Chain A
């Protein structure tokens, strides 16, 4: 339209605040290094050169929860580890999202016994569940893209 063209010639773009903020949030979401068990190896494979996660903005994995946005719970969570997981989730600053990677984190997986928490959603609220034992790196990337779409669709009143 006329005014958009005029503004474009001057180098000005109009958009809504929601779209802007959501776009920036998805473009550089830094995951926290929370690999527990076998799924961690597939997460490392997804980070490595063949299935590159850096092209989605996740250049590095931060070990410190204070500097990360996304917690990928990769692996089985035992009852001994559960309080640690919750504490780390609480230490992450807003906005934060959780991907539950693998069967053990989503629902307890193969292990249905005294030692494993049956699904990490008993401890932290989960945004995206990725199934697989372990999920292929492509499946993890699909889960991350699903999360990006979810974040792109967030409304202002949902922001923490």
Chain B
């Protein structure tokens, strides 16, 4: 029923070097199912012995058609699908989508909702970096770090479950604010986490940072210069590892980030080791942001009052006729965004995650495009890995931190 059509060498002639056609170099398939590719990524390696001459990545094994599927659902229902794009940064995706809707509709978000959004997004950033660290170290054969990272991640997932009922795909942010207010135990749990986590980061540093094997496997590997990084469209930790200090939370702040004081770590060499250090430091800075946001957490409503977009609470339905009409319109047809288009970027743990949202005046989006960082970063993988060994490739893929759901959408 499912037949494979092999792509023969003729069609790829323009991609491989002359030596491959003569048989001097080997074309090796690092297939979709591989323990180190962090998902279903297929790489065609052209090898001279063990040295990599060229890489041809083949993506699309996780292409879910989310962009097209979102065009057939109303805005509120389409938010459910956004979680599943970059599945390590679920709340960040929903945040990008909600920010795009709020920018297009000029919807106000109350300050308490903004602060809680910041706290949850930074917790999600730490959770994503923990998975990155665990799998990166696992690929470089430091298996105990994997278990420690997932232990920390359980604490964060417990906090998310306390707020929304779900560990991963929460859809906690809605256009206009949050789904509901955070429970009273939220602050206690987050403060406990902030107290517990910094010694753990020191533990990871103690295990990896000065470890001679780790340093040997990551120093001077996968270098990319700052100009090349900008040219290839890198953003986030790979760009900052090469020395360019651009972070969308500082340059184009959203959701109240301008109130908080934090640093942007940058590297100098642009190799795997620098990207590792950048992400470790980012975890610490995230803790700083969470601390400040929690101290300044304002009291107030958590969702906008604009009844054209936000359904009224059930208590109002008994008393007000307009509330009933709004409730009916919003739950049957969905809210209608004014005609127009907007591009709204946020800083995900991987880089610049942007949503291009276009509305044609109806209840369903006309076009939702996700500018996902993993898709763009995979283009630069051949540039980063020419001349290295196959064993280094595993470290380079880990340091770019791709998530295939993000790359393929």
Contacts and interface: CB of A to CB of B under 8 A. Distances in A.
Within 8 Å by CB, do A and B touch in the complex? yes
B65 A45 contact: no
B80 A110 contact: yes
Interface stretch (A8-16, A74-82, A93-101, A150-158): A74-82
Given A38-B87, A38-B168, A78 B61 contact: yes
A83 B2 contact: yes
Contact of A111 (B4, B66, B131): B66
B64 interface: yes
Contact of B150 (A49, A61, A116): A49
B65 A113 contact: yes
B63 A37 contact: no
A44 interface: yes
B5 to A, nearest CB: 9
B49 interface: no
A41 B405 contact: no
Given A33-B35, A113-B69, A136-B167, A50 B64 contact: no
Contacts of B3: 83
A63 interface: yes
Contacts of B33: 33-34, 63, 65, 84, 88
B151 interface: yes
Contact of A110 (B40, B84, B153): B84
Nearest to A32: B33
A33 B34 CA distance: 8
A130 to B, nearest CB: 15
Contacts of B169: 38, 133-134
Contact of A82 (B2, B34, B69, B131): B2
A115 B68 CA distance: 10
Given A33-B35, A111-B65, A41 B131 contact: yes
A42 interface: yes
A40 B168 CA distance: 12
B198 interface: no
Contact of B87 (A37, A45, A88): A37
A63 B38 CA distance: 12
Contacts of A115: 63-65
Interface in B48-74: 60-66, 68-69
B61 A84 contact: yes
Interface residue tally on B, bucketed by range: 35 or more
Interface in B140-165: 146-147, 150-151, 153-154, 157
Interface string A99-120: 0000000000011111110000
A21 interface: no
Interface string A47-68: 0111000000000010101000
A142 interface: no
B387 interface: no
B92 to A, nearest CB: 14
A147 interface: no
B298 interface: no
Given A33-B35, A36-B39, A82-B2, A76 B62 contact: yes
A80 B62 CA distance: 8
B146 A80 contact: no
23 contacts: A36-B40, A37-B84, A37-B404, A37-B405, A38-B84, A38-B168, A41-B168, A45-B153, A48-B150, A49-B151, A63-B34, A65-B33, A80-B61, A84-B32, A84-B33, A110-B80, A111-B66, A111-B81, A112-B69, A113-B64, A113-B68, A115-B65, A116-B64
Interface of B: 2-4, 31-35, 39-40, 60-66, 68-69, 80-81, 84, 87-88, 131, 134, 146-147, 150-151, 153-154, 157, 167-169, 404-405, 408
Interface of A: 33-38, 40-42, 44-45, 48-50, 61, 63, 65, 75-76, 78, 80-84, 86-88, 110-116, 123, 133-134, 136
Ordered nearest first, which 9 A-B pairs have the shortest CB separation?
A48-B150, A38-B87, A115-B65, A63-B35, A113-B65, A83-B2, A83-B4, A81-B61, A49-B147
